[in-house]
Amino acid sequence: MTFSLASIVRAYGATTPMAPALSFEGVTLTFGELDNRSSQVANALLASGVRQGDRVAVLTKNTPEFFEIVFGCSKIGAILVGLNWRLAPAEIEAIVADAAPAMIIVSADQQHLLASSSPPGLIVELGDGYERWRDSAPPTDRGVDGELHDVALILYTSGTTGMPKGVMLTNEGMSFASLLGTEVWSMSAASINLVAMPLFHIGGIGYGLSTMSHGGHTVLMREVDTTAIIETIAAYGVTHSFFVPAVIQMLLATPGVESADLSSLQLLAYGASPIGDSLLRQAITVFGCGFTQNYGLTETSGTVVALAPGDHDPGGPRSALLRSCGRALPWVELRVIDPDTFDDVATGSVGEIWVRSAMVTAGYWKQPVATAETLMPDGWLRTGDAAYQDENGYIFLFDRFKDMIVSGGENVYPAEVENVLADHPDIAEVAVIGVPHERWGETVKAIVVAHPGRTAGEPDLIDFARTRLAKYKCPTSIEFAPVLPRNASGKVLKKELRRLYWPSNEPVIS
């Protein structure tokens, strides 16, 4: 078997060249046009001195050119590096220095993020300059086929644990986009997939390749705009999409959503961070389509565990499964391990999720120590996520082990507390962290974003939690905030919250 990302656009550029491949802001590219443009990019890269194994960094909000460059890089064996435009210039500079790209392709809006001293290679600005650069090259496909083990993408982790690490994703790992499309999301050539999550993230580019892998139509949005998302679903007859829970919540709060035409939707996928039961139940009612929860990491090339639509049964006898992220996919091995002894824990006991699959990363770019700490010699990947597995193989996530609170010798998993508090009608968003306590070492604190006009106070919310949780798990203090800090994938930056409450001379676990 051979596969590269270029295989996708080559196949449909040849068999269905007139089929719509990619729509963006009212303009649609066919598979034939996307195939030709990516070949032009490949030849322009070669003419610019880019060779197999070189890195090409892209710094832009979502744009069709991102896909042209992804496929163009693949056609010559270069590696695309997605840069997070939400980072500060110093952070971008550090990543650029680490990746050492031969070329950076950047939009005018993000040009200011590049430190004047940092880019080591050629810079091409999206717009007229990019188009002249691309169109100066012929649309001839040189026919380079990558090996399965070749690195196709380097995606930098979101940085919740300090300096981002470059995750190397191979052709083989990314080849599972097609299988995920059929087996998890029920996609076909007739599917119309809305992609609004950032393409520098696996939830954007990985998911974004799924429908394309089947010759279907991808509708791309520059960034999340909930009003535009609702309008786009109706305008294009969107059948599929993926959102993080924070976006689902924003969609449900968008005026007119309950009367909007969402009848074309077949499946909404969600993941990347925990979702509260009440939010999920409301979404199922409003959107009226199938739902699937996805669990995965950048290091796993995307989804490795899924809760199928049939397991979403909010009013039935299996409603407790809504708290699960699902079961391991057929091509994924999964264990729940005691992180201290590396032994499998008993069914129902909390441990660390380990996975083994051809989807797993080749390692971290230029970081052999971090790679050895994460990838075991026999191929198992340590995820760092705490969970338990029931007798039927369903996984119930708790938290990152680093986020676990130890209060008086008892382990408290913030996600469990957050899930309870999220059921309170006055709470829009909540994050739970551990804060210092003289007697217990740590105690539970909740940071709450209230729904507009709601008036529940600290005592009310603490009492609410105590009716549903053991006392040691309940918050001893609650603080209200206008927003929660989040990274590009929608995860709450608990490191930033902890910094507010831990003494400056105490280490802040990140």
- Residue (of 127, 240, 131) closest to 187 by Cα position: 240
Q: Is residue 68 included in any domain, yes or no?
A: yes
Contact between residue 69 and residue 80 where contact means Cβ atoms under 8 Å apart:
yes
Domain that holds residue 27: 1-171
Sign of torsion over alpha carbons 112, 114, 117, 123: negative
Q: Is residue 206 part of a domain?
A: no
Helix (H), strand (E) at residue 257? none
Smallest CA-to-CA distance from 198 within 489, 492, 485, 484 is with: 489
| Residue segments in the chain with a per-residue pLDDT below the cut of 70 | 1, 116-121, 158-163, 273-274, 399-401, 408-411, 439, 488-489, 503-510
Q: Is residue 504 part of a domain?
A: no
CA–CA separation, 431 and 412 (whole Å): 13
Query: 414-421 and 458-466 helices cross at what angle (nearest 10)?
Result: 110
Rounded CA-CA distance 416/146 in Å is 44
pLDDT the model gives residue 412: 80
What confidence score (pLDDT) does residue 509 get? 40
User: Which of 248, 244, 194, 200 has the alpha carbon at shortest distance from 216?
Assistant: 194
Q: What is the pLDDT of residue 161?
A: 44
CATH of the domain at 464: 3.30.300.30
Contact 203, 229 (CB under 8 A): no
Q: What is the pLDDT of residues 22-52, one digit of tens each?
A: 999 999 999 999 999 999 999 999 999 999 9
Q: Which residues are CB-neighbours of 195 under 8 A, at least 6 positions away?
A: 62, 204, 207, 208, 218, 219, 220, 221, 241, 242
Residue 463 forms part of a structural domain: yes
As a whole number of angstroms, the distance between CA 154 and CA 140 comes to 26
Note the pLDDT of residue 162: 52
Q: How far apart are CA 471 and CA 231, in angstroms?
A: 46
Predicted local distance difference test score (pLDDT) of residue 482? 92
Name the nearest CA neighbour of 242 among 204, 211, 278, 284. 204
Place of tokens 């389509």: 289
Per the structure, the count of domains in the chain is: 2
Angle, CA 411 vertex, CA 407 and CA 412 arms, to 5°: 85
Residue 71: CATH number of its domain: 3.40.50.12780
Helices and strands in the chain: count of H runs, count of E runs:
15, 25
Q: Which of 130, 153, 171 is the last residue of a domain?
A: 171
Residue 505, exposed/middle/buried by CB under 10 A (0-12, 13-18, 19+)? exposed
Answer whether residue 219 is part of any domain.
Answer: no
Does residue 461 lie in a domain region? yes
Last residue within a domain, chosen from 143, 171, 199: 171
Gap between the Cα atoms of 212 and 237, Å rounded = 16
Instruction: List, in order, residues 6 or more apart from 21 with CB less than 8 Å away.
Output: 9, 12, 28, 29, 30, 31, 33, 34, 212, 217, 218
Assigned domain for 475 exists: yes
Last residue of a domain, one of 171, 188, 205: 171
pLDDT of residue 160: 41
pLDDT of 505: 38
Q: How many residues does the chain have?
A: 510
Name the residue among 122, 126, 134, 105 with its Cα closest to residue 40: 134
- Per-residue pLDDT of 267-293, as tens digits, reads 999 987 667 777 888 999 999 999 999
DSSP-derived letter for residue 244 is -
Amino acid at 495: K
Q: Would residue 95 count as lying in a domain?
A: yes
| Cut 0.85: pTM above it | no
For residue 336, the model assigns a pLDDT of: 97
Note the pLDDT of residue 246.
77
